[in-house]
Amino acid sequence: MCHQSVGLIARDLEAAGYPTIGFTSARTITTRVRPPRSVFLDVPLGHTTGAPGETVTQRQILTDGLEAGHRLTTPGHVIDLPYRWIDDRWKADPLSWSRSAQESGSGPDGSHFGARPVTRSDTRNERRSEPQYQLEDDRDTADAVSWDEQCRVCLGLAPCP
Amino acid sequence: MATGIHRHRRGLRRLSHSLAYSCSVPYGQVMADPQIVPGRSELRPADYLEETRQLYSSLGYDTYRWAERTEDPTWTPLTKPLSQCTIMLVGSGGIYRRGQIAFHTKDDTSVRLIATDTPVDELRTAHFAYDQTDARLDPDCVYPLTRLRELAERGVIGGLTGDHVGFMGGIHSTRRALAETAPLILERCHHQKPDLVLLVPV
């Protein structure tokens, strides 16, 4: 849904006069909503602009993506960037990719990583209406801010909207 | 996280230098083997429309109705070369900065402003629809602010706007994404006047 939201928002920004380039790692979702300029990286979700710690490759992917997007002249077109994930096993069950599954070789319900499970179980994360802090320290830090006086989105770090 | 080894030692030193007050996240670790390499996969791109349809069907849920646009998008020409473009980053991977209120995951349509000089170790993620392990290890996987700063220093791009946008793109209601989130981002555009908006979904 992220790719859908971003694709639709890109269309709105462009219609308001702001040129956009969008990365995507979900090609079929992107082509369905047709944002103005897209560059596709064929990797598991969670790596739209690269893999952890691979700074040189990340910089090259970003440069390639920006340059390819900049050259586009056809509205709604998607450019495929010349990169791939180290192996293709994740494509057997792309919705279930996780770092731990790739490292351990087994899927979320004990299935073999790289094989499509025979029966599917609901392994999706529950959606919650409370803030989902990455660290407890983040919650404490946010709680310490007086939100009555400060903008909730910018922490006073940037000019308020 | 399984075995991450410190391969790029020089890069790691530079990163750890900015971790003055430090935190529990081991930023800067890399995998034992490169994860992304030059080349093209011999298999077709993953089709998440079909994957989601099959998953929902096997669980007995109604099919999710994906949005579709058949008409061409409005086109605003890029008139400047990349090396003169001031870029604003908009990432939907649930990026917030330490100290800000984190996103909730039930159609949170709000946005967070991320100042352009935000240290990478202050970036956090809150999302439900992707494995955040790698993004939390290295936020540039989904929010390439550090890499953009480097491209600006090298003159590949003209520069960066003063602040950028993070939001949680897993919004089931496209109506709400367009009515609530899009105007907030547009307002930031009016304020920051970027030559180019770089969008990074997850």
A contact test, residue of B50, B51, B80, B130 with most A CBs within 10 A: B130
CA of B58 vs chain A CAs: smallest distance (Å)? 6
Residue B9 has pLDDT above 50, yes or no: no
Mean pLDDT value across chain B: 86
Cβ atoms B201, A7 nearer than 8 A: yes
Nearest alpha-carbon partner for B142 in B162, B169, B116: B169
- B29 band by pLDDT with thresholds 50, 70 and 90: low
Beta strands in A15-139 (DSSP E): 20-24, 37-42, 77-85
What was the pLDDT predicted at B116?
96
Instruction: Check A63 against B151: CB less than 8 A apart.
Output: yes
Amino acid at B162: G
Domain borders along chain A are 2-116+134-140
Instruction: Check A52 against B130: CB less than 8 A apart.
Output: no
Residue B19 has pLDDT above 90, yes or no: no
- The shortest CB-CB distance from B48 to any of A26, A49, A52 is to A26
Q: How far is CA A74 from CA A56, A79, B139, B155, in A?
A: 30, 11, 31, 27
Question: Nearest-CA residue of chain A relative to B46?
Answer: A91
What was the pLDDT predicted at B20?
31
The enclosing H or E element of A29 equals helix A27-33
Average pLDDT (B183-202) is 96
Instruction: Check A3 against B201: CB less than 8 A apart.
Output: yes
Looking at chain B, the whole-number percentage of residues with pLDDT higher than 90 is 77
Instruction: Check A141 against B99: CB less than 8 A apart.
Output: yes
The rounded distance, in Å, linking the Cα atoms of A29 and A24 is 9
Higher pLDDT among residues A122 and B69, named by residue: B69
Cβ atoms B77, B150 nearer than 8 A: no
Cβ atoms B126, B105 nearer than 8 A: yes
- A156 band by pLDDT with thresholds 50, 70 and 90: low
Whether residue A112 lies within 8 A of chain B, CB to CB, comes out as: no
Q: What is the pLDDT of residues A15-74, one digit of tens each?
A: 999 999 999 999 999 999 999 999 999 999 999 999 999 999 999 999 999 999 999 999
Determine the length of chain B. 202
Residue B12 has pLDDT above 70, yes or no: no
Residue B179 has pLDDT above 90, yes or no: yes
B contact test, residue of A118, A153, A154, A157 with most B CBs within 10 A: A153
Residues 61-90 of chain A whose Cβ lies under 8 A from any Cβ of chain B: 61-63, 66-67, 70, 75-76, 80, 82-86, 88, 90
A contact test, residue of B53, B56, B105, B131 with most A CBs within 10 A: B131
Instruction: Check A138 against B98: CB less than 8 A apart.
Output: yes
For residue B160 the two structure tokens come to 């960066």
Q: What is the pLDDT of residues B123-170, one digit of tens each?
A: 999 999 999 999 999 999 999 999 999 999 999 999 999 999 999 999
Q: What is the pLDDT of residues A89-136, one digit of tens each?
A: 999 999 989 999 999 888 766 778 888 877 777 777 889 999 999 999
Secondary structure of chain B as H, E, C letters: CCCEECCCHHHHHHHHHCCCCCCCCCCCCEECCCCEEECCCCCCCCCHHHHHHHHHHHCCCCCCCCCCCCCCCCCCCCCCCHHHCEEEEEECECEEEECECCCCCCCCCCEEEEECCCCHHHEEECCCCCCCHHHHHCHHHCCCHHHHHHHHHCCCCCEECCEEEEEECCCCCHHHHHHHHHHHHHHHHHHHCCCEEEEECC
